[in-house]
């Protein structure tokens, strides 16, 4: 791997390594390390550490950006940001696959395009930044790479999935699962209005209206949550 390639990757990360050995190791797949053991270790240990680094900073940013969001919503958003598919997409934007050192077998199996390989490599790179530059440096790189994704969550913040929130609350605190019942459906076929009740155990906790059963159920769940949280 040439210094030119590493310099380009550093430019995209907006971070220059003081010790490039960290970055070099982050780009070594286990298949390459197995075939060329004298070249040094693979990125597996860095990937392990990077997973924790990424989870910490994403949690930090979510808490900062969305101070009103509850634990359940924050957890789902974090999961959506750190899953392999999303990480692989960010890795592709950096052309991380082109920088990897792969063994012959992995190369023949299109390893440079595998989501799992790319996701692991991205986590390893983030660990490398942390170990080379510390907390602030790693936080800056994570913010750079995930800023757009974090911002897009704003659109979802005003469209919370109240049914999921209610289910999480009910199962955790009441040990029951909500059920929904259509009470009425009025109006012409092209403009129906539905009323839906949500039941917890043997009693209703909220009744919502909407232009669809789904919308009415979401409103019922929202009202039920308001009552439960007040109680």
Q: List the catalytic residues.
A: 51, 123
197 is in an annotated binding site: no
| 101 DSSP 8-state letter | B
120 is in an annotated binding site: yes
Of 173, 178, 172, nearest to 203 (Cα)? Answer: 178
229 is in an annotated binding site: no
**68: three-class secondary structure by DSSP:** coil
Count of beta carbons in the 10 Å neighbourhood of residue 54: 24
Beta strands in the chain (DSSP E): 179-186, 193-200, 203-210
Residues 6+ apart with CB under 8 A from 54: 82, 123, 126, 142
Rounded to a whole number, what is the largest CA-CA distance in the chain?
A: 75
Q: Which residues are annotated as a binding site?
A: 47, 120, 123
Binding residues for Mg(2+): 47, 120, 123
């Amino acid at each position: 791997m040439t210094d030119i390639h590493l310099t380009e990757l550093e430019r995209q990360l907006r971070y220059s390594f003081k010790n490039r050995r960290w970055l070099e190791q982050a780009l070594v797949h286990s298949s390459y390390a197995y075939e060329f053991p004298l070249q040094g270790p693979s990125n597996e240990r860095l990937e392990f550490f990077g997973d924790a680094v990424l989870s910490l900073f994403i949690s930090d940013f979510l808490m900062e950006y969305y101070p009103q969001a509850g634990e359940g919503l924050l957890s789902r958003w974090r999961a959506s940001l750190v899953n392999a598919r999303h990480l692989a997409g960010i890795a592709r934007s950096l052309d991380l696959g082109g920088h990897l050192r792969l063994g012959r077998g992995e190369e023949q199996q299109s390893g440079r395009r595998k989501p799992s390989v790319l996701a692991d490599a991205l986590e390893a790179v983030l660990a490398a930044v942390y170990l080379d530059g510390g907390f602030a440096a790693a936080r800056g790189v994570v913010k750079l790479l995930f800023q757009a994704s974090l911002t897009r969550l704003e659109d979802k913040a005003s469209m919370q999935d109240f049914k999921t929130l209610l289910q999480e609350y009910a199962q955790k605190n009441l040990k029951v699962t909500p059920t929904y019942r259509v009470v009425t459906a009025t109006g012409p076929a092209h403009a129906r209005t539905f009323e839906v009740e949500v039941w917890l155990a043997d009693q209703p906790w909220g009744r919502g209206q909407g232009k669809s059963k789904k919308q009415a159920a979401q409103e019922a769940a929202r009202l039920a949550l308001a009552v439960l949280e007040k109680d």
